[in-house]
Amino acid sequence: MISQKEYKNRRDTLAKKLSNNSIGIIYSSTYKIRSNDTEYPYRQDSNFYYLTGFKEDNSVLVLVKTKNLTKTILFVQKKDEQLELWTGKRQGEKQAKKRFSVDKVFASNDLKKRLIEYFVGKKTLYCDLSSKDKRVKKVLDQASGIKTQKNIIHYIREMRLVKSPAEINLIKKAISITRDAHHSVMRSKKKGKKEYELLAQIEYEFKSRGAYSDAYISIVACGNNANTLHYIKNNKPLIDKELILIDAGSEYKHYASDITRTIPVNGKFTKAQKKLYNLVLDTQLEIIKMIKPHVNRSELQKIAVELLTKGMLKLGILKGDYKKLIKKQKYKKYYPHGIGHWMGLDVHDPAPYINYDNNEIALDKGMVLTIEPGLYIDKDDKSVPKKYRGIGIRIEDDILVTKKGHDNLSKDIVKTVKEIEDISFNLLCKSKALAVTAPQAK
């Protein structure tokens, strides 16, 4: 769990980045309409949650900074018995003041009146200038007398780049839940099922272990479906002798995991599948070994491209001169994405990749990123040997940068050919043997 002291320290750090005689405003998320008058389950805005740990909607955090002092004010939905009858209990002003380490708490419907007072004498307004939220537009109109406006989100995202020990523990918990879900699917009989049946199994494992939501819409893609990178239909049959790409990660107490494994429907890789799979796996293992402070992500991408290109040349997927293939980016036909991304409160954490001097931000202790090389060969690609067509493979792990190197936080999720076959194929064989030797009913 993250303590209120840590949330307060984050607000204090943010306040130091703001200029004197300024005001910063961060809004909670709003409910999103799913259909007509029904809404998606509420999920707090990540930046607001990062600074407060407060989960309710209709709330606002305000930082008022003078030359010698910064005050933090939290605006919350006031207690309303009739509203709570429909949507559940609220903290209200009194309880929020006791629970959260802020200077003052007011009801949200007092915001406009209070801002008139806070804007007096202020030179700079910090808010989410990139937001399309109507509330932001209203506050910008109200603060028309403040000449300088800056985007507060840039500062918060920069802070989110390095994770605290408490954040890392929550990410580890999310990954452990995700591990159990992936292993459950690997152990299960898959032949004759539909993709959505595996999806249901994954979601059951998430929720039964305390992760009440996915970190993103899971991908369960059998055969050629895996060659659509963001395939989320998840409604096709699982075909014998094909592979299933499963990209699924749980979210635990707002922190994400992001794991991809590619497994055979029948528990056994074919020779061609094994060659492609090991090329992707060997590439991933080499890239993970490179991770340590001061290394650039662009270098990881460069080496991944080189390894995958060499491997595709060897397998006859690419043809021609190695250097020319790299220069002309011919590999992008089969490896079109990057080697990974930041991860934290969001599965694609929006922390910066470039600093204020327009230089790449190197890896440093406490950063968490995914490493996910892949190869995607469409079934209709006649330039490739037939045995490789219709195969899509991605292997993804979540990596913590440590003081001297790295820690693969998802290393307990099996991924070698032998491990996957042991956990799935051999188990199925045992099940068949038990069925044969079981005493027959009279």
Beta strand residue intervals within 341-396, DSSP E: 368-371, 374-377, 391-394
The verdict on 329 and 377 lying in the same domain is yes
Spatial CA neighbour of 19 closest among 117, 102, 125, 116: 125
Q: Tell me which residue range forms the domain holding 418.
A: 165-432
pLDDT at 119 exceeding the cut of 50: yes
Question: Which of 179, 376, 388, 397 is flagged as catalytic?
Answer: 376
Specify the number of domains making up the chain.
2
Instruction: Report the C-alpha gap between 195 and 239 in whole angstroms.
Output: 10
Question: Which of 6, 348, 381, 422 is flagged as catalytic?
Answer: 348
- Catalytic site includes residue 376: yes
pLDDT at 427 exceeding the cut of 70: no
The predicted pLDDT at position 286 comes to 98
Spatial CA neighbour of 254 closest among 28, 61, 60, 97: 28
- Catalytic site includes residue 247: yes
- Catalytic site includes residue 37: yes
- Catalytic site includes residue 180: no
The verdict on 99 and 244 lying in the same domain is no
The verdict on 316 and 205 lying in the same domain is yes
pLDDT-based confidence at 424, cuts 50/70/90?
confident
Question: Which of 43, 282, 337, 381 is flagged as catalytic?
Answer: 337
**Token reading at 314:** 């060897």
Mean pLDDT calculated for residue range 371-398: 98
Name the β-bridge partners of 25: 62
Question: Which of 179, 389, 394, 406 is flagged as catalytic?
Answer: 394
Per the prediction, the chain carries an average pLDDT of 94
The verdict on 340 and 369 lying in the same domain is yes
Looking at the domain assignment, is residue 442 inside a domain?
A: no
- Catalytic site includes residue 394: yes
Question: Which of 214, 372, 397, 421 is flagged as catalytic?
Answer: 372
pLDDT at 212 exceeding the cut of 90: no
pLDDT in tens, 163-190: 999 999 999 999 999 999 999 999 999 9
pLDDT at 430 exceeding the cut of 80: no
The verdict on 100 and 200 lying in the same domain is no
Question: Which of 56, 258, 349, 421 is flagged as catalytic?
Answer: 258
- Catalytic site includes residue 6: no
Q: What's the burial of 36, exposed, middle or buried (CB within 10 Å: 0-12/13-18/19+)? A: exposed
Residue 427 or residue 258, greater confidence: 258
pLDDT at 146 exceeding the cut of 80: yes
The predicted pLDDT at position 389 comes to 98
Instruction: Report the C-alpha gap between 397 and 411 in whole angstroms.
Output: 7
Taking the CA atoms of residue 350, residue 354, residue 356 and residue 362 in that order, the dihedral angle to the nearest 10 degrees is: 110
Question: Which of 346, 396, 397, 421 is flagged as catalytic?
Answer: 396
Mean pLDDT calculated for residue range 340-355: 97
Question: Which of 81, 117, 141, 230 is flagged as catalytic?
Answer: 230
pLDDT in tens, 31-42: 999 999 999 999
pLDDT in tens, 269-325: 999 999 999 999 999 999 999 999 999 999 999 999 999 999 999 999 999 999 999
Instruction: Report the C-alpha gap between 224 and 375 in whole angstroms.
Output: 12
The one-letter amino acid code at 92 reads G
Which of 138, 159, 180 is the last residue before a domain boundary? Answer: 159
Spatial CA neighbour of 141 closest among 117, 109, 116: 116
- Catalytic site includes residue 348: yes
Instruction: Report the C-alpha gap between 63 and 86 in whole angstroms.
Output: 32
Spatial CA neighbour of 203 closest among 241, 238, 234, 158: 234
